[in-house]
């Protein structure tokens, strides 16, 4: 199994677009133009069947390379899938969950076809060849929320809309909440601080801002709630 290394650099996504389909009312397609080997990808659509998005259907395998890997991190548990030579996402034999003390618990992997993720979540795509863009697609939805469930230490979330924007609001913040946004060569951290004046509660690099930065359509970031409280990000 490949080691899981939480290192990210900057990325950029192109404008998203939607096309009509005779079998599905509207198919949303987002081109993500990234020069990086690791990209946080937003779940921005429903599965083409109309249900919750299946990992096997989220990222088009066009422009990907056999051996590329998807990593999901949800409820403190890792799931991993590798693109096979036949261009299907194959589960890893062993995955791990992480306790509050950092202890790892091994378990069997879950098939990408049955592992589903709701709109607003994020997933990590690791590529060997980052010279070409990749695409995410699915049945269009107007959902505009990312949910961080109570009890988790960290969650990957993404901008599910079809436009580059900053979150309109974040509900449930606690002092010390950490938003880690991929930048060129590093992660830029924004910390929530209710003591900021004039509605400016997001602190980063010595300065306060009223909102988080704009996030490209189809991309995302880490949200780490200080008290493991539930958080809702409204886009």
What DSSP string describes 150-195?
A: TT-S-EEEE--SSS-B--SEEES--TT-EEEEEETTEEEEEEE-TT
Look at residue 68 and tell me if it is in a domain.
yes
Q: Considering its fold, how many domains does the chain have in total?
A: 2
H helix or E strand, kind and range, residue 123: strand 122-126
Please list, in sequence order, all residues whose beta carbon lies within 8 angstroms of the beta carbon of residue 222, skipping any fewer than 6 positions away.
40, 154, 155, 156, 157, 178, 179, 180, 181, 187
Look at residue 147 and tell me if it is in a domain.
no
pLDDT at 107 exceeding the cut of 90 = no
- Amino acid 33: pLDDT: 86
Classify residue 213 by its DSSP letter: P
Q: What is the pLDDT of residues 132-186, one digit of tens each?
A: 999 999 999 999 999 999 999 999 999 999 899 999 999 999 999 999 998 767 8
Q: Which of 107, 124, 142 is the last residue of a domain?
A: 142
Q: Which residue has the higher pLDDT, 57 or 185?
A: 57
Give the chain's mean pLDDT: 86
Average pLDDT over residues 120-128: 95
Q: Which of 142, 159, 189 is the last residue of a domain?
A: 142
Q: Which residue has the higher pLDDT, 149 or 96?
A: 149
Of 193, 178, 179, the closest CA to residue 226 belongs to 178
Distance between CA atoms of 30 and 214, rounded to whole angstroms?
17
């Amino acid at each position: 199994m490949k080691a899981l290394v939480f290192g990210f650099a900057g990325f950029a996504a192109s404008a998203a677009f939607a096309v009509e389909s005779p079998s599905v009312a509207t198919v949303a397609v987002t081109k993500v133009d990234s020069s990086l080997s690791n990209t946080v990808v937003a779940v921005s659509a429903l599965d083409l069947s109309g249900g919750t998005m299946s990992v096997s259907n989220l990222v088009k395998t066009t422009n990907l390379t056999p051996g590329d890997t998807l990593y999901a991190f949800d409820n403190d548990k890792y799931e991993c899938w590798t693109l096979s030579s036949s261009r299907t996402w194959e589960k890893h034999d062993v995955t791990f969950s992480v306790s509050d003390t950092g202890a790892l618990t091994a378990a069997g992997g879950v098939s990408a076809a049955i592992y589903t993720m709701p709109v607003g979540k994020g997933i990590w795509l690791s590529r060997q060849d980052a010279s070409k863009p990749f695409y995410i697609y699915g049945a269009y939805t107007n959902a505009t929320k990312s949910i961080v469930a109570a009890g988790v230490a960290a969650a990957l979330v993404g901008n599910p809309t079809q436009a580059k924007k900053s979150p309109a609001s974040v509900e449930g913040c606690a002092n010390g909440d950490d938003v880690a946004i991929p930048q060129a060569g590093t992660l830029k951290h924004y910390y929530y601080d209710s003591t900021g004046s004039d509605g400016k509660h997001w602190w980063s690099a010595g300065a306060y801002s009223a909102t988080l930065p704009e996030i490209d359509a189809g991309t995302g970031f880490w949200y780490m709630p200080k008290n493991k409280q539930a958080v809702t990000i409204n886009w």
